[in-house]
Structures are given as structure tokens and as C-alpha cells.
Copies of this chain bind each other. A is one copy, B any other.
Amino acid sequence: MDKSRSSDAWSLRGLIPDNHPRRESLIVREKLVEALENGILVAQGLIAHGRGECFDYLIGEKTQSFAELAEKVAVAMLLLAKNPVISVNGNMAALVPKEIVELAREVNAKVEVNLFYRSEERVKAIAEELKKNGAEKVLTEGDATIPELFSERRKVSKEGMYSADVVLLAMEDGDRTQALVNMGKKVIAIDLNPLSRTSLSATVTIVDNVIRAFPNMIRFAREMKEVRREEIKKLIDQFDNKKNLSESLKFISSRLIQLSEDL
């Protein structure tokens, strides 16, 4: 994009007062605009972020109990996996590059760049961002394909998502999530919209913002290393994703009733 527009965007940063009620969310937006300019994000990623902002607002911009439970189950699943992979897109690389690398280390997962709007340039920009944040190896090959899908978005790494038993992804396209589940994989999805096709088709859905979900999961991974394998397995077996999604919808709904009464 041309400079006049980007400097428009930048001018905001210095203007956000420390006590602005929406300061954190405004700073996150600026990070995304920066990622757009650095070739990490495409424009559609900004629209997706906006949708997430809205749902985040509806859940109170906090990790609610249903999200915390899903995060614990997700970590359990990653710890017991044979070949866990964290799938990274532009939005994740823009917001939590350091945390992706840290979680991958804690649960011994591979990190793979996977883009809906895939271009080799963008794959490279994201891999570099992850390496800058401590990643030793980032899978970028696209040397295997997800069945059912067409176009560039079907490309995955043979060593990574193609052969993975557990995949952690965030803000993913519904078709892709469904196709991975159909391949027999356990899919953990971080998605603020409890009604998205990704949320509905994932094995474990974390209705939370990635900027909170990743730090939580890193903490849980550290704590859970002290826990016996049987206990960890029990956590997974007892989890009901549909029920947990339903909890999140009930939470949002009662919050809206409360807000409408406050009017």
C-alpha cells in the first residue's frame, strides 16, 4: 500500500492514551496493519480479525471457564500426540509469534506455515517472523495435499500436517478444518466464533482470543508435565465439545440480556 495511507494508520499509535478503554485492542489492530505492510497478512485477514473482535467483545474479552477447559484439554491432547503440529497463518504470526514457538517447545510440536491465500513470498515472510522469535525449524514445503480441497490452500507439508495426528490451528477456514477432521486427525481450533464451521467441526474448540489462549496453554503445558498420563487421558475422555460450545453461546446470550437490561 502507498505511504500516505500507511502513515495515516501509524499516526494513531502515538495518539492512544495510556488509559484509553480500548487501548489494548487498538494496539493489536496496529500490529495487524503492520503485518499487512510486511507481507505477513492479506487484507482478508483484517476482516477476519474484525469478526473475532466482535465475538471477543461478546465473551467479555476474558478467558471464560469454557475456554479454559478447552485449553486444558487441548494441551492434554498435544502432550499425548505422536506427531502434533501447530499450523500458523498470517493472523497468528502477527499476534503471537513468540508464543507459538514457546508452546511448540513445551509440547514438542512441529510448526508449519499454512495459508488460505498461499504465496511463496508470504510463506517465507511468516517463516522468517517465527525464526526471529526463536523457532529452529519451520515447515513450509507444501509437498503434500489435503484431499477434498482444491487450489493453493490444499498444500501442506508431508512431514507436518499431512502425517500429524493432532493439529492446532486458529481462525481457520471451515472447509480446511473439516477436511483435516475427515483425514482422521484430531483438530484443536482457536476460534472466537462458536458458530463458525471450524468451531463446529473441530475436535476441541477454544472460544478465546489467541493472545490469551497461547499464554494460557503454555502455562497449562508446564503444569501438566507433573500430571500422570492416565489423568491427562481422563481429561480428554471427559470432554464434550458440543456441550462446551453450547456453554459459550449461553454465556454470550445471558450477557446480552444483561446488557439490554442495563440500557
- Which residues of A does B touch, CB under 8 Å? 1-2, 4-5, 8-9, 11-12, 15, 29, 32-33, 36, 39, 42-44, 46-55, 57, 117-119, 121-122, 151, 193, 195, 200, 242, 245-246, 249-250, 252-254, 256-257, 259-261, 263
Contact = CB atoms under 8 A, between A and B. Distances in A.
A252 to B, nearest CB: 6
Instruction: List the 3 closest A-B pairs by CB distance, nearest first.
Output: A50-B50, A54-B54, A249-B260
Contacts of A11: 117, 151
Nearest to A151: B15
Nearest to A54: B54
A117 B50 contact: no
A44 B250 contact: no
B242 A249 contact: no
A145 to B, nearest CB: 17
Contact of A117 (B8, B43, B47): B8
Contacts of A32: 43, 47
Contact of A242 (B50, B151, B263): B263
A195 B257 CA distance: 12
Contacts of A43: 1, 5, 9, 32-33, 36, 43, 46
A253 B257 contact: yes
Nearest to A45: B46
Given A29-B44, A44-B9, A119 B249 contact: no
Contact of A263 (B52, B193, B249): B249
Given A46-B47, A55-B54, A119 B5 contact: yes
A120 to B, nearest CB: 9
A47 B193 CA distance: 15
Nearest to A245: B263
Contacts of A4: 119, 121-122
Contacts of A49: 47, 50
B253 A256 contact: yes
19 contacts: A4-B119, A5-B39, A8-B122, A15-B151, A29-B44, A32-B47, A46-B46, A47-B49, A47-B50, A51-B53, A52-B54, A54-B54, A54-B193, A245-B260, A245-B263, A246-B260, A249-B263, A250-B260, A253-B257
B242 A250 contact: no
A11 B44 CA distance: 12
Contact of A2 (B8, B39, B54): B39
